[in-house]
Amino acid sequence: MGITERRNREKLRMRRSILDAAMKLFVEDGYDNVSIRKIAKRIEYSPATIYLYFTDKDEIFFQLHQEAFSKFLAVQKETLKIQNPMARLAKQGANYLEFAQKHPEHYDLMFIIKAPLRKLKTEWNCGFESFDILRQTIAECIDQGHLGNNNVDVVAIHVWANVHGLASLIIRDRLAMIPEDLLPQLLQEVMAFGTETLANR
């Protein structure tokens, strides 16, 4: 059965190369400017071929969405080494914002974009897992008396909304009222302020 195995390998390689091409175009040209035809041209196949490997455009984006998430998840799991939950929480927040700024197209895919949401409700496992890491950390903080006696979910969503709000305002250029050169410094202060408001509970 060496032949079918090789064929499976080739099939996987093809899927991979489609996804890679799509992601590259994504990062280069932005979400809205990626078309099936462009992806096809990039890998030097006809557009129709892509439909032999993915049912539609959404499936490609959903796949990339998942991969972006597992990338992010890996970064967040790194923080689990940090013993002190408050320090860990701060690091998770910093990671989040850094990820958003370093990989805006990935972030877009993960948290902002509208497109491939049909499947999101049933299959957003990475999202849940990532939220759970945050949740877990906050639970520890509360246990150790750092965050008052609050509902874990309330605090978790509060924290997440905080960093996501910042990240998406930046990515979508809605902080135009702040001079560009002052922004990085200011952002750091905002993050510091955020953790401070939490710590002094």
CB of 113 closer than 8 Å to CB of 62: no
The stretch among 8-16, 132-140, 151-159, 189-197 that binds DNA (CB under 7 A) is 8-16
Looking at beta carbons only, is 84 or 197 nearer to a second copy? 197
Q: Is residue 24 within the footprint of DNA (CB under 7 A)?
A: no
CB of 58 to DNA, least distance (A): 6
Q: Is residue 34 within the footprint of DNA (CB under 7 A)?
A: yes
Task: Out of 24, 57, 103, 158, name the contact with DNA by CB under 7 A.
Answer: 57
Long-range contacts of 137-140, Cβ-Cβ distance < 8 Å, separation of 24 or more: 137/79, 137/85, 137/88, 137/89, 137/92, 138/85, 138/89, 140/85
Looking at beta carbons only, is 10 or 56 nearer to a second copy? 56
CB of 112 to DNA, least distance (A): 19
The binding site for a second copy (CB under 8 A) comprises: 30-32, 111-115, 117, 120-121, 124, 127-128, 131, 150-151, 153-155, 157-158, 160-166, 168-169, 172-178, 186-187, 189-190, 193-194, 197-198, 200-201
CB of 23 closer than 8 Å to CB of 63: no
Please name the helix (run of DSSP H) or strand (run of DSSP E) that holds residue 2, with its range, or none. helix 2-29
Torsion, CA 154, CA 157, CA 159, CA 164, rounded to 10: -160
Task: Classify residue 38 as exposed, middle or buried by CB count within 10 Å of its CB (0-12, 13-18, 19+).
Answer: middle
Task: Out of 58, 157, 170, 195, name the contact with DNA by CB under 7 A.
Answer: 58
